Structure 1
């Protein structure tokens, strides 16, 4: 099995002054990449700002013989993101990989959450990922090559108390991946999501102390490097933490079809709920059109899939 290398590739890692992003940036550089270490330098809730964290990571990479530049763009600001991408192009002439890692937390139960707390989190995680992806998109299309790694979360996939803003944004990132996968396929732009579980300043008061001891952020980075490599899949949600790796998928049941219009009632849905939720013949739909085609085919075929009761 050959090593996964990034020699000659240019990689942007957002939010890479600390935690997960720092590990990603350093490991990419160890494997030959030229790295843009982006970090706004704010606190966990996004307030403040300083270039010191990004510059420290750049120094660490350079001291080890690698190549890196620091950038302090706020991913919610399109003009700053555009300037960051231009900095990379001016320095190295291409961009091969974008890792959307920047994030903040403003946890609060939904009924007590302010509009500002909602807006700030969605702006960084969802809009920030879109801003950065858009800024590199046409460059990758023209190159005929690109890899984008989104950072989703189990809070977005499964939910988590007190994180309606964060969970909604992380679920949105998953949706963004699905469409970019479709649009980027012909230009060999592959998009994947990483769902990390790690001990960082983002999780220090969310995960029990005993669990934090085994959740070193460095065990998430192998999943990121895999998701960004030449042979990576696309449209995959890869969960990583504590040395464990798994894949999450959205599956659709075969469901039921009511041939007679008179049966298309909420009562019949209730009566056939067991069959409707039977996942034994579940499918993964690759586009929204796949679902539409399935439903139209059933209707035009006129065959009922409802068991007689």
Structure 2
């Protein structure tokens, strides 16, 4: 098996001072990449800042013979994002890879979330992906090559009580990644979304108050954490993350799950559904109610990659159902 290498590639990893980002940065460097280790050095709730975390990772990389520089800029401002990308260009002359990983938690009930719990979460997860991603994309486009990996979450894709703010930010990254993949396809740039599962310092911010939700508590209590626990350390997520940003990987516009050592493509699909009868008269609410079981049916799924793919699928499905010529 040929070793996956990153020689002559320059990678930016945000939130690389701890947890997932740290393992990504160290392994990228071990495999030959020049790495910008970005971390503001705040707490797991996004409070404070320190150069210690990023500097320690850079020292570890350099001690092992790799090349890295530290960035202590905030991803949550446009100026900070531009400075992170400029650090890569000043130090190494180019940008080939962006892993948008920085983040923190501020959990609470949906109805109790304040602006101080909503805005900073959206800033560091969703808006930061624009602030760092836009200048990185421009640098990649100038060289007709790039790999972008946005860090989503199963909390957004599948749901997690008391994380409406976090899930909203992570869910936005799904749409962002899809559009970057489409636009980037013309310029050699690929984009994917990773849903990692890892026990990290963010776990300290989890409040078990969410157990007040019976359906969620039942889901949690079914889990055999003692079985998968040893495989939820950050390092188990690193192989998939690095493959997705490698030159060897040709996949784009995807969502991928890394959970307990299981790596899988997560798909957003549309069912065959129910078509309004032939003609141009809209269905009634009662029509929808009468046919809701078919609307919900998992039969005949398709996987649109653009809004126009869905229109094509609807047209073909309508022909099959006899509502179009």
Q: TM-score range by the shorter chain?
A: over 0.9
Give the corresponding residue for 1:284.
Answer: 303
Give the unaligned 5+ runs of structure 1: none
Deviation at 1:204?
4.0
Give the corresponding residue for 2:292.
Answer: 273
Post-superposition CA distance 1:132-191 (Å, at most 9, x none): 110111111110000000000000101100000000111100110111111000111000
Give the corresponding residue for 2:237.
Answer: 220
Distance 1:96 1:150 in 2: 14
Post-superposition CA distance 1:188-222 (Å, at most 9, x none): 10001111111101124549974644411100000
User: 2:84·2:132 contact (CA, 8 Å) conserved in 1?
Assistant: no
User: 1:148·1:191 contact (CA, 8 Å) conserved in 2?
Assistant: yes
Question: Are 1:250 and 2:261 matched, yes or no?
Answer: no
Secondary structure of 1:192's match? strand
Secondary structure of 2:58's match? helix
* Count of aligned pairs: 305
Deviation at 1:23?
0.4
Deviation at 1:301?
9.4
Give the corresponding residue for 1:239.
Answer: 257
Distance 1:242 1:155 in 2: 16
- CA RMSD in angstroms comes to 2.0
User: 1:254·1:283 contact (CA, 8 Å) conserved in 2?
Assistant: yes
Deviation at 1:87?
1.6
TM-score, reference length from structure 2: 0.89
Give the unaligned 5+ runs of structure 2: 207-219
User: 1:204·1:212 contact (CA, 8 Å) conserved in 2?
Assistant: no
**Worse overlay, 230-239 or 69-78:** 230-239
Change (3 A) 1:271 1:212: same
**Worse overlay, 165-174 or 291-300:** 291-300
